[in-house]
């Protein structure tokens, strides 16, 4: 009887540990339209987090000026500290670049700071996108 209890306890602990690892490795999508402020233009975010065996990659696009300008973004997220860094590079146009850094909050949202030529955005909060129940209907 004691070995059955130990087996069930180990199975429960292993099941919980496995569930935590599986959910921590799921990819995520962050989407936002942020209104302009005094030092930050209106921004449209579409950033994906992809979890890999060597770390967490961030990639996507950020648009501004009603999507007349677009920058590709890429970087990494440290899963231990929850801090991230990305580089934004304008597609076409003037080829401007910007540094984006911030943190993945415990609620799953990103808080980002952008520093580039003529752009200084602080504490932009980007929500985690959750698709509607039932798929794309």
Over the stretch 102-132, which tens digit does the pLDDT of each residue have? 999 998 899 999 999 888 999 999 998 877 7
End-to-end CA distance of the chain: 51
Q: Of the candidates 54, 56, 71, 82, which has an alpha carbon nearest to the alpha carbon of residue 121?
A: 71
pLDDT band at 136 (very low <50, low <70, confident <90, very high): low
pLDDT number for residue 130: 75
Distance of CA 9 to the CA centre of its chain: 35
DSSP string spanning 72-122? EEEEEE-TTT-EEEEEEEESSTT--EEEEEEEE-TTS-EEEEEEETTEEEE
Q: What is the mean pLDDT of the chain?
A: 79
pTM score of the predicted model: 0.74
Residue ranges per structural domain of the chain: 26-126
Q: What is the signed CA dihedral for 85, 90, 94, 98, rounded to 10 degrees?
A: -10
């Amino acid at each position: 009887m004691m070995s059955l209890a130990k087996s069930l306890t180990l199975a429960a602990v292993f099941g919980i540990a496995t569930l935590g690892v599986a959910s921590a490795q799921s990819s995520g999508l962050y989407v936002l339209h942020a209104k302009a402020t005094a030092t930050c233009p209106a921004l449209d975010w579409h950033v994906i987090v992809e979890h890999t065996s060597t770390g967490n990659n961030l990639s996507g696009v950020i648009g501004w000026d009603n999507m007349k300008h677009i920058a590709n973004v890429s970087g990494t997220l440290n899963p231990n500290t929850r801090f991230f860094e990305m580089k934004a590079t304008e597609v076409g146009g003037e080829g401007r670049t910007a540094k984006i850094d911030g943190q993945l909050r415990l609620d799953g949202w990103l808080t980002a700071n952008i520093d580039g030529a003529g752009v200084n955005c602080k504490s932009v909060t980007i929500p985690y996108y959750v698709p509607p129940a039932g798929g794309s209907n």
